Structure 1
Amino acid sequence: MEDADKGSQQEAEALPEVGEDAVTAVGSPAPPPGLTDEEREELQQELVKVEEEILTLSQVLAAKEKQLVEIKRKLGITTLNELKQNITKTWQEVTTSTAYKRTSETLSQASQRATAAFSTMGSAITRKLEDVR
């Protein structure tokens, strides 16, 4: 039982922590065939540079999102207002769609036919009732 606990503990230790990249967690593997040490070093430097750029962009995006929230707050734009606008826009898109128009026309025709059928049936029932008297 202790061996199983040690095995799962070792597996957990092998997993990279949040924010820790796979290269530093696993160590430096042997270069793939056809990749020189110099090429590998250049790729490592490029990897670090790209990771730094991603981090910078994430920070800039977070700052822009805060700025957006502040501007909306100053303008009085609330989440509820945005939701209302989105619903209105979506409803307009739905009602102007070809599928909606076809469905609406079909339902309108079905309604007219049902109304005519009920009217005919009502007239027939009325005549039968008059005949019974």
Structure 2
Amino acid sequence: MVSDVDLNNTLTEEREEILSELTKLEEDISTLRQVLASKEKHHSELKAKLGITPLIEFKQNFNRSWYDMQTSTAYKKTSETLSTAGQKTSAAFTTLGTAISRKFGDMRNSPSFKSFEEKVECTVSNIKQTKVGSQGRGGSFEEVLSSAAHASAQETPSNNMSESSDHERTC
């Protein structure tokens, strides 16, 4: 029983020491918080005297971070890679545009396109002459187109030669 009492006594004394140390630490923390608050207040006052506002401080921090990022190896490598990719893409689009332009030029100079173009010109010319020949009857585009088709279906080769212009003879 005596050993139980000694053991309990030792635990109690140890507990009291721990509680005492904990109390001292809490007091130190409280004192440090007060000192820190005082220092932060003094820090703010000095910044205000120098004219350093939170916005200016934010800009300075941003500029510093931006500079640090631009000087980083990763940024430099990424920038070089994107630049090279942009140049290659630009060259590819230029080549594609040139090829398409060349193909349109070849198509426009082909015999079938020229034949189609002549037929369209002839039809437009016939429509204009039919419209003028109707002496102001007017009408919609569909009516003029219909009358031009009707007139060309009824014309005979002899009528066509005597009444038509030189341009119509080639149509």
Please indicate, yes or no, whether the TM-score normalized by the shorter chain is above 0.5.
yes
Aligned residue pairs, count? 102
User: 2:54 maps to what in 1?
Assistant: 79
Q: Which residue of 2 aligns with 1:111?
A: 86
| Percent of aligned positions that are identical | 57
Given the alignment, which residue of 41, 63, 68 partners 1:88? 63
Q: How big is the shift at 1:33?
A: 7.4
Aligned partners of 1:42 and 1:49: how far apart in 2? 11
Q: Which residue of the partner structure matches residue 8 of structure 1?
A: none
User: Counterpart of 2:22 in structure 1: which amino acid?
Assistant: L
Aligned positions of 1:1-133 closer than 5 A: 35-133=10-108
Structure-1 separation of matches of 2:79 and 2:92: 20
| Alpha-carbon separation, structure 2, partners of 1:35 and 1:126 | 99
Q: Which ranges of structure 1 fall in alignment gaps of 5 or more residues? A: 1-31
Distance in 2 between residues matched to 1:38 and 1:110, nearest whole Å: 75
Q: Which has the higher contact order (CA 8 A, sep 6+)?
A: 2
Equivalence for 2:116: none
Distance change (3 Å), C-alpha of 1:118 and 1:69: same
TM-score by length of 2: 0.56
Q: Which amino acid aligns with 1:112?
A: Q
Structure 2: give runs of 5+ residues left out of the alignment.
1-6, 109-171
Q: How far off its partner does 1:122 sit?
A: 1.0
